[in-house]
Amino acid sequence: MAERPPSAAVLVLHGGYETGLAPPPPGVMNLPGLRMLPIARAVARAVRPAPGIRVRRVRYSHRGWNGARQDPMRDVVRDLDALRSEAGDIPVVLLGHSMGARAALHAAGHPLVRSVVGLAPWCPPGDPVTQLAGRDVVLLHSTRDRVTSPQATQSLTARARRAGARTCLVTIRDSDHAMLRRAPSWHRLTADLVRGLLGLGPLPDAVTAALELPVDASAADGTMALDSLPAGPGRRALRGMPRT
């Protein structure tokens, strides 16, 4: 039986390398892809009550960003174009880690993209932000990341807000770039954010407030620590989130 066209979609983008023309290795040999599996599953569970939402991983042609080629971004646009041909103008959330988050940010100007969730994103200072206008952009970064810069991520949130995006940065202490330390917190937070950005439930109040900041707000104004997120009415700061 043919798969029905989705009513919304989440495209999941794993990390990679600065350079690398070879395709990603298959299966368990693709460690960046393997790391995103439990996150993709958590998101799929979170959106399951709503019919017709597709959660799908983007398959890369090459394992690296490769400078001006921006190969992963091209792969994302390819999948977005295919979705549009299949299902029309449905809302899409791009969910990426590291290089995958950079690809998501670069591809966010596509007409289907409504939101970007970036995990430990790779945000070089000169990367463009005008394509993020009108999008919700929520970025998560460990304060102890030694691979990508949480400071660069914070700077991007302010630049993108000035360009017309609605942005927020959530910092996660005592974690790492691979999101292995405090993994359950990364998984639950990501799932709740995607669910909220698709309109299937509430976002944490502090995240909503950050997304509504004026364009001239400082980078610090839109930044919050995971452990300081206030509880909303009748619930914890994030659904099922342990305070650790």
- Percent over 90 (pLDDT), the chain: 87
| Assigned domain for 59 exists | yes
Note down the domain range covering 215: 8-228
* pLDDT tens digits, one per residue of 55-79: 999 999 999 999 999 999 999 999 9
Kindly report, residue by residue over 171-221, the tens digit of the pLDDT: 999 999 999 999 999 999 999 999 999 999 999 999 999 999 999 999 899
In a domain, 236, yes or no: no
**Geometric angle at alpha carbon 8, from 129 and 230, rounded to 5°:** 65
Q: Which two tokens stand for residue 222?
A: 């839109």
Tell me, yes or no, whether 3 lies in a domain: no
Total domain count for the chain? 1
Q: What are the CA-CA distances from residue 195 to residues 7, 8, 28, 148, 180 (Å)?
A: 14, 11, 28, 26, 22
Domain assignment present for residue 72? The answer is yes
54 within some domain: yes
Instruction: Please name which of 76, 91, 57, 95 lies closest in space to residue 190, comparing C-alpha atoms.
Output: 95
The answer as to whether 99 is a domain residue is yes
Of the pLDDT bands very low, low, confident and very high (cuts 50, 70, 90), residue 233 is: very low
Q: What is the CATH number of the domain that holds 167?
A: 3.40.50.1820
Split at pLDDT 50, 70, 90, the class of 229 is confident
Domain contains 192:
yes
Assess if residue 235 is contained within a domain. Answer: no
